[in-house]
Structure 1
Amino acid sequence: MSKIESSLDQLVIKLGQLKTVGKAHLCSLWQKYSPQLDKLKKIDYATVKAFVLKFKWRIFLVLILLYAGSKVYDYFFPAADKAGGPVTVTSVIVEKKDIPLIIEATGTIVSNSIVDIRPMITNTVAKILVKDGQEVKAGDLLFQLDDRNDKANYEKLKALADDAQSQYLRAKELVAKNFISKAGLETSSANAKAALAAAKAAEVQLSFDYIRSPIDGRAGIVNVFPGSLVQASNVVSTSTSSTATSSVGAMVTITQLNPINVQFVIPEKDIPTLLENQLDGEPLKVKVTVGDTSKKTYEGTVLVVDNQVDPSIAAVRVKAQIPNDSMTLLPGQFARVSLVASDLKDALSVPSQAVVINPRGKFVYTLDKDGKASSVPIKVIYEYQGNSVITGIQAGDRIAVEGKQNLRPGSKTREAKSSAAPVNSPATSPTPAATTTSDKK
């Protein structure tokens, strides 16, 4: 709109320059031919005819220029400006409504919990009880290592602990009969406790041969095979050569997929709005779309807003949780997030196309009961999906939307429709193409 008005201003300037040049040219012609005006009284039909025949092409060119200039003037300055003719417009009536303040961002799907299964000891894989992509529960047995040595050691220490306990019980009986001293009883008690502790340590060592899932989730690709030698504290690595495939580190990764999280960043200027809404005790709502947004929208709530701003990007990290019952979302996917931060109470919303922008600022055309247009300067607070929340007007004002390019202050108008429709509030269901802009911050 500003480009059109700038072009009109340049055209008016050029027409003014053309007018000045024309006046100068006419003055020079007047000075040149004014001495001959005294002879006009003596001009007869034959003289006029000779003059017209002599300058017929110049006269024809002047008439064409005058006609073209008249048409150009009528085009850029319609009859409404000159003669008060009505301009056909479409208008809306402004109403007060609660407008949701929506912040859009892009983020990444992340797992609520993810665990790399690694061995605690160096041993050989005896059995693999999990398959690629299998759903597992917390406590399910995934792998069994070679437990023969650890089991024998446990049984040995368990037998010694049982024997030490029996000796302690006999020592108690002998102390009661004064056959041994209390020091001997204390020594027997210490031996029994030490043997029991050694047996429990052997039991823990034996439990390392049975690797279980710590969480509910889905298993990834199993990186080991029966007979593979696994080692403790290795980095995840799987290598394949022309002769063999070897795997160390994570034996498998368990990922919790339901519920699942989405992590995104919010600009620093929007942080006060987020924190104010959190103080009210109401959880922030989000709507997430992944891939083809026409298929499904996932709704969830914000879990946490990070406690510090990343100065490199001037944004704060936010994590939200969404249900994933169909298991269609996977960690690492690109996501589009719409966060309903708060509501603008009793806001005045108009279609964005009703806002006129020029070098002096933004304004709208209001129409009185007689259809007379007036320009009113406004300030845009929030804009979303083709609607703008503005200040500077009152509820109930009639705003010109279509046809405003032909309006000037004081222009008369007529409604293109039988009645004006009220302004619709911005849709609460965001689309990925929409862009949030806010001057309120």
Structure 2
Amino acid sequence: MSKIETFLNKLLIKLVNGIRTLKSRLCALWQQFSPQLKKIDYLTAKTFILKFRWRILFVVVLAYAGLKTYEYFFPTADKAGGPTTVTTMVVEKKDIPLIIEATGTIVSNGIVDIRPMITNTVAKIHVKDGQEVKAGDLLFTLDNRNDTANYEKLKALAEDAQKQYLRAKELVAKNFISKAGLETSLANAKSAQAAARSAEVQLSFDSIRSPIDGRAGIVNVFPGSLVQAGNVVSTATNSTATSSVGSMVTITQLNPINVQFVVPEKDIPVLLENQLDGEPLTVKVSVGDSGKKTYEGKVLVIDNQVDPSIAAVRVKAQISNDSMTLLPGQFARVSLVANTLKDALSVPSQAVVMNPKGLFVYVVDKDNKAASKPVKVVYEYQGTSVITGIESGDKVVVEGKQNLRPGGKVREAKSKAADTKNTPVADKK
């Protein structure tokens, strides 16, 4: 019980005790002064009332307020008047999904900034702005004349060194040269082959390929642009500036795509409990103000630590983006199905009433009389509350409860469908 409820209960008890004490004192005063009241004439009574008028008014107001307070917290079982019109529903057991709502951001499943490994000029561009590319597709070709010539030179030297080594093997067999000469020839051949492979790798840097599947962004270079290894990419931007900082192009994987969001610390045990069961958690994601289209996906990972600054844990989920309508950086609304409450009893949240004693609902019995039942709200989502304290099949009052008191008679309001059915329809012209 909260401190406010405890304070209200104590205040109510003091008020009731005060009323009872006042009542007993008034009775004692009546017994004491009743013999003298017969001797009081009109003039004496008038003088007494005028003299103590403010005290008499205070006692009357206090007594009236105490009476109304007592009737409110301890209503009588039966009251005069007809039955109260209410709307009810029959409670049934059903499975209720436990949903956690959050906001997050659409993030790419893979994003790569294409930058050169060497300093060179762009010879040819094979990709267009916004083009879909596959892993291994050729994006840019740099000026490879010098690297090609160097590779061919070292390749020829490696082939010659290999031939010299084979010839040295034949001469050793005929004892024309020593084994030391053969080992030197072998070392020269291996060194030449390594140099040729290094030149081949250097030559491969002139052909820039896509490392992942995805969509190309805006191409930031042109044929003839000087590009440098690192983060600086030279490009002709206008008549006075010829360099800018950025990548040659950015490849972004859009399908599938991820959404990243945070879950409050209090909901972490529910997430981890369901994760241990081996079943991946499902999410529904909507983007934009309309929220007409919903994307479904699965949770990939729950972060291994809580961010103490926001008391929440990061969660990443993957969703399908076949239509390519989702882009990284978009704001997203996420509904995470964390668990399922089996055989739960749910009622509209408006059916739950709160008073100083706690939460309760009105239940209608077979005699059409209302009775209050204390309940506990286990979970609430979008106007529906899962409660305990009632049984399956109970008829719970949803509307009209503001005029009800325990033991009061009720009658069911006519349904809107019946009213619509009985309403005459105008003839169409």
Give the TM-score, by structure 1 length.
0.76
Matched positions, count: 357
Q: By how many angstroms is 1:34 displaced?
A: 3.4
Contact 1:298 1:323 in 2 (8 A): yes
Q: Identify the range of structure 1 (84-93 vs 280-289) with the bigger mean alpha-carbon deviation.
A: 84-93
2:162 partner SS: helix
Secondary structure (helix, strand or coil) at the match of 2:243 reads strand
Distance, in Å, in 1 between the alignment partners of 2:194 and 2:355 is 85
Flag the 1:328–1:238 CA change in 2: closer, same or farther, 3 A: farther
Q: Say whether 1:34 aligns with 2:42.
A: yes
Change (3 A) 1:137 1:36: closer
- Cα 1:31/1:243, change in 2 over 3 Å: farther
How do residues 160-171 of structure 1 correspond to structure 2 at under 5 angstroms? 160-171=157-168
For residue 246 of structure 1, report the CA deviation from its aligned partner.
2.3
Which residue of the other structure, out of 323, 327, 333, is the alignment partner of 1:326? 323
Residue 397 to residue 190, structure 1, CA distance change in 2 (3 Å): same
Q: Are the aligned partners of 2:233 and 2:243 in contact in 1 as well (CA < 8 Å)?
A: no
**Percent of pairs identical after alignment?**
82
Shift of 1:240: 5.1
Give the aligned partner of residue 208 of structure 1.
Answer: 205
Match of 1:274 among 271, 275, 286: 271
CA distance in 1, matches of 2:367, 2:414: 16
Are the aligned partners of 1:100 and 1:340 in contact in 2 as well (CA < 8 Å)? Answer: yes
Q: Cα 1:406–1:308, aligned 2, differ >3 Å: closer, same or farther? A: same
Please state whether the residue corresponding to 1:347 is helix, strand or coil.
Answer: strand
- Structure 1 residue 243 displacement after superposition: 2.4
- Change in 2 beyond 3 A, CA 1:291/1:118: same
Contact 2:225–2:235 (8 Å) recurs in 1? no
1:64-143 counterparts in 2 under 5 A?
82-83=79-80, 85-143=82-140
Deviation string for 1:68-127 (max 9, x for gaps)? xxxxx9xx9999963152111111111111110000100000000000000001111111
Q: Identify if the C-alpha distance between structure 1 residues 176 and 365 changes in structure 2 by more than 3 Å, giving closer, same or farther.
A: same
| Structure 2: unaligned runs, 5 residues or longer | 1-7, 9-14, 20-37, 46-67, 416-429
Counterparts of 1:236 and 1:362, CA distance in 2? 67
Instruction: Check conservation: 1:378, 1:393, Cα contact below 8 A.
Output: yes
Q: 1:204-256, CA deviations, whole angstroms, 9 ceiling, x for partnerless residues?
A: 00101110000010000111111111111115798956623523441100000
Partner of residue 354 from structure 1, selected from 328, 351, 354: 351
Structure 1 vs Structure 2 CA RMSD: 2.9
**Given the alignment of the two structures, is residue 415 of structure 1 paired with residue 407 of structure 2, yes or no?**
no
Conserved? CA contact 2:227–2:235, under 8 Å: no
How far did 1:395 drift? 1.6
Relative to structure 1, the CA distance from residue 32 to residue 245 in structure 2 (aligned partners, 3 Å threshold; closer, same or farther) is: farther
Consecutive unaligned residues of structure 1, counting only runs of 5 or more, are 1-5, 7-12, 17-29, 38-72, 419-441
8 Å contact from structure 2 (residues 225, 234) kept in 1? no
Shift of 1:182: 1.3
Which consecutive aligned stretches of 4+ in structure 1 deviate over 4 angstroms post-superposition?
A: 30-33, 76-81, 235-242
Deviation of residue 35 (structure 1)? Answer: 6.4
Matched, 1:310 2:318: no
The whole-number CA distance in structure 2 between the counterparts of 1:239 and 1:163 is 45
TM-score by length of 2: 0.78
Equivalent AA in structure 1 for residue 345 of structure 2: L
Distance 2:341 2:132 in 1: 45
Give the conservation status (yes or no) of the 8 Å contact 1:259–1:323. Answer: yes
Q: Does 1:194 align with 2:202?
A: no
